[in-house]
Amino acid sequence: MNGLSFHPAYLDRPAQEALLASLAPLIARAPFFRPTMPKTGKPFSVEMTNLGPLGWVSDREGGYRYQATHPVTGQAWPAIPQALLDLWQAVAHYPVAPQACLVNLYRDGAKMGLHVDADERDRAAPVVSISLGDSAIFRLGGATRGGPTSSLKLNSGDVVVLGGASRHFYHGIDRVLSGSSTLVPGGGRINLTMRVVG
């Protein structure tokens, strides 16, 4: 197998609501920002923020990287809530705690092109992904760009663990099915990915 494990409906609706409620004050302190592409400065359609000692950011000048502070407020990122650390413990099967939880907000047709998560030194650790809100079509390829891909519908409460070989596979979000969930105030999808940066 490729090391991907899929846990559909890992979080039930009350657990999804509790998780979102726990995130609200953290996101108020570390508001969503819109990253830009290295070199071109083209804005992402996805808005982002982070939790944990390190957060993933991107802009024209500095490119893709992890840093300890929010690029707009200059403040340290809020800590990763214990419930998320517990979820990591339960599904990651990895002895090290995540240092970064990237929070992606997909509104208004936002999507994410095929990419490999490659900015972490520790690439043996899995990436744990939690979906909240509107359903999304997740696309998974292989280790090289341009190979065959398959798609997987991710619904609110689903958890995906990209471990083993799949940790290094191309993946992205083709589209979000607008209005498919009532969870996120204002609509859209929130995806959390926890990573060990190393």
Site for ligand SIN, rule CB under 6 A: 102, 104, 112, 129, 138, 171, 173, 191, 193
134 binds, among ligand SIN, Fe ion, none (CB under 5 to 8 A by kind): none
**CA 19 vs CA 77, 94, 126, 154, 190: distances in Å:** 17, 22, 21, 17, 11
DSSP state of 120: -
**Site mask, Fe ion, residues 67-106, x = CB under 5 A?**
----------------------------------------
- Cβ atoms within 10 Å, residue 147: 10
Could you tell me which stretch among 40-48, 81-89, 113-121, 184-192 binds Fe ion (CB under 5 A)? 113-121
Q: How far is the CB of 129 from Fe ion (least distance, A)?
A: 8
Distance between CA atoms of residues 182 and 133, nearest Å? 7
Q: How far is the CB of 127 from Fe ion (least distance, A)?
A: 7
Residue written as tokens 């500095």? 62
Per the CB < 8 A criterion, the answer to whether 157 and 13 are in contact is yes
Distance between CA atoms of residues 172 and 80, nearest Å? 24
Among positions 117, 120, 134, 158, the unique one binding Fe ion when judged by CB under 5 A: 117
Q: How far is the CB of 143 from ligand SIN (least distance, A)?
A: 16
Q: How far is the CB of 14 from Fe ion (least distance, A)?
A: 28
Distance between CA atoms of residues 143 and 146, nearest Å? 9
The whole-angstrom distance between residue 60's C-alpha and the CA centroid of its chain comes to: 21
> Which CB, 12 or 143, lies closer to Fe ion?
143
104 binds, among ligand SIN, Fe ion, none (CB under 5 to 8 A by kind): ligand SIN
Q: Counting every residue, how long is the chain?
A: 198
Residue 47 in contact with Fe ion, rule: CB under 5 A: no
* Nearest position to Fe ion, beta carbon: 117
Residues that bind Fe ion (CB under 5 A): 117
